Chain A
Amino acid sequence: MGHRVEPGLYQIGNPTAESPVLASANYTLSFDALRSALAGFDAYILVLDTNGINVWCAAGKGTFGTGELASRIETTGLAGIVTHRKIIVPQLGAPGISALEVQRRSGFRVEYGPVRASDLPEYLRTGKATSEMRRVQFPVRDRIVLAPVELVHVALPAIVIAAVLWFLAGPVAALAAIAAVFAGTVLFPVLLPFIPTRDFSTKGLLLGGVVAIPFAAAFASGSALPGWAALIAAITPLLIMPAVTAYLALNFTGSTTFTSRTGVKKEIFRYVPVMTFMAVSGIILGIVLGVTRLLGVI
C-alpha cells in the first residue's frame, strides 16, 4: 500500500523542547493534512501505526488507540525530547483513546484538538477549540467525493445485469438498471439531506421511485400492450428500481459521519425484507411478462 507514512516522531519547522506535540495516523492524507495545516509552526508530529488508515476509522477499530499511543510515546523517547507533558490528539481519535489511561501509562496529558486539521492554527494560537471546530459535518463536497467510490464498487455487477437485461428485455430495461444504480450511488449521496424522511432506506425508496417513473411510463406505452400487460410493465420497474436504489442507499450509511449502529441495524431489520419483497415480486412480474410475450399471448 502506498498510503503509509513510517510511524515515529517528525519535526515541523524547528521545534524546541517546549514545542507542541501532535498525534496523527500513518495514513498519508492524514499526515499531509496535518503537515500543511502546521506550515509556519514549530512542532512535533507523533505518527502512530494505524496500518495506513485515517484517524477516525482507526480509532473505531482501536488501532489509533491507547496502547499504540502510549507505546509510541515510549519508543520515540518523547519524554526526553520535550519538557512539557502534553500531547494534542485529533478529536476524532477519541473513540480509540482513553485520555486517563494514556496519562497513567505515559505521563502525557491528552488534549483533544479540533476535528479538522485546518482549524489547528487557530486552536494552537488560542489554546481552545470552539464548539464549531468540534462538530463533524458532512458537506456536499465530501459527499460528492464519495460518489465515484460507491459507483465503482457496484459498477461491474451493474454492467453485467444491464447487458443481460438488454438481451432479455431491450435497451430501455438496461438503462433502467443503470439508472437505479446511478441513483443509489451518485444521486443519493449528493441529495442526501434534501430527500424527505430520516431513514436512508425510505430516502432511497423515494428517490428510486421518482427515477422509476419515466421508465414505468416508457414500458407501459411501448409496443402496444393490452391493458393488463401495460399495467404489469409499468409496475415492474416501480417495484425493482426503488428496491435497488434503497439497498444502495442503505449501504451508504457506513460512509456517512453520523449513523449509529443501533439505527442502522433497525433499518436493516425494518427495510431489507421490504426491499427483498419488492425486488422479488418485480422480477416475477417481469418474468411473467416476458414468458407471455414469448408464448405469443400478447
Chain B
Amino acid sequence: MFDSYAENTLQYHKDRCINCKRCTQVCPHGVFAEGPEHAELAHPAACMECGACALNCPVQAIEVQSGVGCAWAMISAAIRGKDMDSGECSCGGSEGSCCGVQEEKSSCCNEK
C-alpha cells in the first residue's frame, strides 16, 4: 500500500553468473551482495534502475530497463505529447533543464 517502488524491471539470471563481483561494485544501493558461488540478489526493491550492473555484467546475467526516475521529466514529456520514457532528464545545458549544481553524490534533476 502506498509503495510504488516495490517492483521494478530488474531481472537476475543467477545461473549465468560467473561471480566476477562487478555488480556488487557498481550498485549504489547494495542490491547485489557477494556470495560464495555467485552474486546474491540481496535487496531487489532498492533498485533504482540506473542500469550500471547490467551494462557491466560480462555475461548478461542481469537485465534491467534503465532510466531516470524523474517525474518532472516524464510529465513534461507527456505534456509535450511525447513518449514518457523519451522524457530525458535533460540535465544541464539550457534553461529549464534539470540537474547540475550538485557533486557526484546527487542524482539527476537537481537544477531544474
Query: Which residues of chain A have a CB within 8 Å of any CB of chain B?
Result: 1, 3, 27, 29-30, 33, 51-61, 90-92, 94-100, 112, 115-117, 129, 131, 134-137, 142, 145-146, 149-150, 153, 197-200, 202, 250-251, 253-268, 270, 272
Chain B's closest residue to A53 (CB) is B92
In the complex the two chains form, is B105's CB within 8 Å of A142's CB?
Answer: yes
B11 contacts A by Cβ under 8 Å: no
Known: A33-B104, A135-B28, A256-B107. A60 touches B71 (CB 8 A): no
A227–B55 alpha-carbon span in the complex (Å)? 63
- Please give 15 more A-B residue pairs, beta carbons under 8 A apart, in addition to A153-B112, A255-B110, A264-B71: A1-B92, A53-B100, A54-B99, A56-B106, A92-B28, A92-B104, A95-B50, A98-B55, A134-B27, A197-B3, A251-B72, A260-B47, A261-B68, A262-B5, A262-B65
Closest beta carbon of chain A to B50's beta carbon, Å: 4
Please give, as numbers and ranges, the residues of chain B lying within 8 Å of A254 by CB-CB distance: 68-73, 89, 98, 107-109, 112
Please give, as numbers and ranges, the residues of chain A lying within 8 Å of B74 by CB-CB distance: 261, 264-265, 268
Query: Which residues of chain B have a CB within 8 Å of any CB of chain A?
Result: 1-5, 7-9, 22, 24-30, 46-52, 55-56, 58, 65-75, 78, 84-85, 88-89, 91-93, 98-112
Closest beta carbon of chain B to A126's beta carbon, Å: 14
Please give, as numbers and ranges, the residues of chain A lying within 8 Å of B9 by CB-CB distance: 260, 262
In the complex the two chains form, is B69's CB within 8 Å of A60's CB?
Answer: no
Please give, as numbers and ranges, the residues of chain A lying within 8 Å of B85 by CB-CB distance: 261
Q: Which of B1, B27, B65, B106 contacts A255 (CB 8 A)?
A: B106
Q: Which of B22, B30, B65, B69 contacts A259 (CB 8 A)?
A: B69
Closest beta carbon of chain A to B102's beta carbon, Å: 6
In the complex the two chains form, is B55's CB within 8 Å of A94's CB?
Answer: yes
In the complex the two chains form, is B2's CB within 8 Å of A115's CB?
Answer: no
Please give, as numbers and ranges, the residues of chain A lying within 8 Å of B99 by CB-CB distance: 53-54, 57
Known: A60-B50, A198-B5. A115 touches B105 (CB 8 A): yes
Closest beta carbon of chain A to B59's beta carbon, Å: 10
Please give, as numbers and ranges, the residues of chain B lying within 8 Å of A54 by CB-CB distance: 99-100, 102-104, 106
In the complex the two chains form, is B29's CB within 8 Å of A199's CB?
Answer: no
